[in-house]
Amino acid sequence: MGDGSASGNRGHNNNHNSHSGHSNKPEWLQQYDLIGKIGEGTYGLVFLARTKSPPNNRGKSIAIKKFKQSKDGDGVSPTAIREIMLLREISHENVVKLVNVHINHADMSLYLAFDYAEHDLYEIIRHHRDKVSHSINQYTIKTLLWQLLNGLNYLHSNWIIHRDLKPSNILVMGDGEEQGVVKIADFGLARIYQAPLKSLSENGVVVTIWYRAPELLLGAKHYTSAVDMWAVGCIFAELLTLKPLFQGAEVKAIPNPFQLDQLDKIFKVLGHPTLEKWPTLANLPHWQQDLQHIQGHKYDNTALHSVVHLSPKSPAYDLLSKMLEYDPRKRITAAQALEHEYFRIEPLPGRNALVPTQGEKVVNYPTRPVDTTTDFEGTTSIQPSQPVSSGNAVSGSMSGAHVGMNRSMPRPMLNMQRMQPQGMTAYNLASQAGMGGGMNPGGIPMQRGVSQAHHQQQLRRKDTGMGMGYPPQQKSRRF
């Protein structure tokens, strides 16, 4: 675990800085030039910084996520431990990569460092809806969706459910080698589901309500990776229409309350679920208990295609409807979705979602506001505010850390990227992290055979003109 001597700083002499302005800073913090705060969420603060470490990363933009202390006040947050343990086990081009982990021993506060991703889907959607007033081009939508599914397929192949997919947790890299590449972020609610010792419902409420699957809303005690696919369907629809598909009002009065309004929003678009289409519906607690509002209220199907403005015979509509299948056992998987006809017709998905290939105008997304008056402790700094160049802070990169925005949804927190394994001590803290009664993801078979086969599949997808696992625009359409 990084403690100040990680990331190439072992040669620094603390005495050298004893008379400088850094004298009261831990050594690890001296690796960075703090730019300012870019977000705040349930679990802490997110900052934008630049590295000082030579030789190649000097000036590189880094997002640093500071976790609040555990509610019990007894150390590191279980959420932070879960996130670290999962991120150090996985590596994929469409999943965020953790760069380093630091502990401030003075107060045992924990900091996670990630490469900075300049955009997220929430900000991209908001920009098109509120600023430029036109839809996202079809190439960009298809590329964003394909890469999201690509990353999710990797997670599900390794028995990981994300459980908090929403636009603000789907990052898109800005300028650089990975421009326009999607990164799934914020693993605070993610967990391994290969062999849970308890029902997953005991983990409490998961998934932001607008993207929460109907089986969760109806009180399912057990659920699968299908909950992530429902969320992807909601995100797909939002990319098409620039507004949330099911925008219900969340009840927060009691723990895990019955969300009638959210179900009402879903039923009005998709119609009333039936036992014929969803046989296990009868076993769900809220379906059994709320006869008046759920079973007694009949809904006319207002037709999903009219809401998302798609032809019922189009491949896009077919894929979306399969993602929004009521019965989770019938809902399309990420692997199946990647093979869908929608991704085999023009425009084909590519590597850079931000640069259309069909001659359409490139959209310049705005820079992210940065609070340059807040330091790493979350308090106001005496230093004056500094302007941030457009190349380093672009609106919407820290998943969910949207500064100054009024949003009714809980906000995820960050913009993340891959950690150096040698920078961490092996921690066996899975039981504190709530990972199935002490299950250590490092000790669980991570389906290496599956992921290796998937990796080989990725290699077969490579095209020298695109640099990543995407089909050639003019050649094979095989994924």
Considering the domain boundaries, does residue 304 fall inside one?
A: yes
Report how far residue 357's alpha carbon sits from residue 333's, in angstroms, rounded to the nearest whole number.
Answer: 28
* Angle, helix 138-157 to helix 448-461, in steps of 10 degrees: 150
The answer to whether the CB of 393 falls within 8 A of the CB of 56 is no
Q: Can you read off the two tokens belonging to residue 20?
A: 């400088």
Are residue 226 and residue 337 in the same domain, yes or no?
yes
Task: Please state the length of the chain.
Answer: 479
Considering the domain boundaries, does residue 219 fall inside one?
A: yes
Residues 6+ apart with CB under 8 A from 104: 26, 28, 29, 110, 111
Read off the CATH number of the domain in which 185 is found: 1.10.510.10
- Residue by residue, DSSP assigns 154-210 as HHHHTTEE-----GGGEEE--SSTTTT-EEE---SS-EE-SS-SS-GGGG---S-GG
Q: Can you read off the two tokens belonging to residue 207?
A: 């998934």
Q: Which residue range forms the structural domain that includes residue 282?
A: 119-359+453-461
pLDDT at 194: 74
Residues 6+ apart with CB under 8 A from 241: 307, 308, 309
Report how far residue 254's alpha carbon sits from residue 231's, in angstroms, rounded to the nearest whole number.
Answer: 24
Considering the domain boundaries, does residue 439 fall inside one?
A: no
Are residue 114 and residue 237 in the same domain, yes or no?
no
Q: How far is CA 433 from the centre of its chain?
A: 19
Are residue 349 and residue 376 in the same domain, yes or no?
no
- Nearest of 306, 307, 284, 304 to residue 295 by alpha carbon: 284
Are residue 236 and residue 346 in the same domain, yes or no?
yes
pLDDT at 30: 84
- Nearest of 328, 347, 388, 360 to residue 144 by alpha carbon: 347
Q: Tally the domains of the chain.
A: 2
Considering the domain boundaries, does residue 138 fall inside one?
A: yes
Report how far residue 184's alpha carbon sits from residue 168's, in angstroms, rounded to the nearest whole number.
Answer: 10
The answer to whether the CB of 203 falls within 8 A of the CB of 448 is no
Q: What is the DSSP letter of 370?
A: -
The answer to whether the CB of 78 falls within 8 A of the CB of 85 is no
Bridge partners, 110 (sequence order): 67, 103
Distances (CA, A) of 65 to 46, 50, 273, 365: 4, 14, 41, 23
Report how far residue 221's alpha carbon sits from residue 287's, in angstroms, rounded to the nearest whole number.
Answer: 13
- Nearest of 117, 109, 132, 102 to residue 43 by alpha carbon: 109
Q: Hey, what amino acid is at 69?
A: Q
Considering the domain boundaries, does residue 146 fall inside one?
A: yes
Q: What is the DSSP letter of 211?
A: G
pLDDT at 443: 33
Read off the CATH number of the domain in which 75 is found: 3.30.200.20
Are residue 74 and residue 85 in the same domain, yes or no?
yes
Are residue 208 and residue 66 in the same domain, yes or no?
no
> From start to end of 284-404, where are the E strands?
none
Q: What is the pLDDT along the chain (479 residues), one digit of tens a residue?
A: 444 433 434 334 444 443 344 456 777 888 888 999 988 877 788 999 988 866 665 678 889 999 877 666 666 777 788 889 999 999 999 999 899 999 887 777 889 999 899 999 999 999 999 999 899 999 999 999 999 999 999 999 999 999 999 999 999 998 888 999 999 999 988 988 876 544 544 454 556 889 999 888 888 888 899 999 999 999 999 999 999 999 988 877 666 677 878 988 998 999 888 888 888 887 887 776 665 566 666 777 668 999 999 999 999 999 999 999 999 999 999 999 999 999 999 999 999 999 876 667 788 887 778 898 888 775 554 344 443 333 333 333 334 333 333 343 433 333 333 333 333 333 333 333 333 333 333 333 333 334 444 444 443 333 333 334 555 443 333 33
Considering the domain boundaries, does residue 306 fall inside one?
A: yes
Considering the domain boundaries, does residue 447 fall inside one?
A: no
Are residue 290 and residue 388 in the same domain, yes or no?
no
Are residue 240 and residue 155 in the same domain, yes or no?
yes
Instruction: Give the 3-state secondary structure of residue 461.
Output: helix
Catalytic residue list:
164
Considering the domain boundaries, does residue 471 fall inside one?
A: no
The answer to whether the CB of 243 falls within 8 A of the CB of 201 is no
Report how far residue 292's alpha carbon sits from residue 297's, in angstroms, rounded to the nearest whole number.
Answer: 7
Are residue 132 and residue 212 in the same domain, yes or no?
yes
Report how far residue 90's alpha carbon sits from residue 448's, in angstroms, rounded to the nearest whole number.
Answer: 11
pLDDT at 70: 65
Instruction: Give the 3-state secondary structure of residue 51.
Output: strand
Q: What is the largest CA-CA distance in the chain?
A: 75
Can you say whether the dihedral through the CA atoms of 85, 88, 89, 95 is positive or negative?
positive
Exposure string for 274-287, b = 16+ CB within 10 A, e = fewer: eeeebeebeebebb
Are residue 51 and residue 61 in the same domain, yes or no?
yes
Are residue 49 and residue 160 in the same domain, yes or no?
no
- Report the half-sphere exposure of 387 (CA within 13 A, side-chain side): 3
Are residue 343 and residue 379 in the same domain, yes or no?
no
Helices (H) and strands (E) in the chain, counts: 11, 10
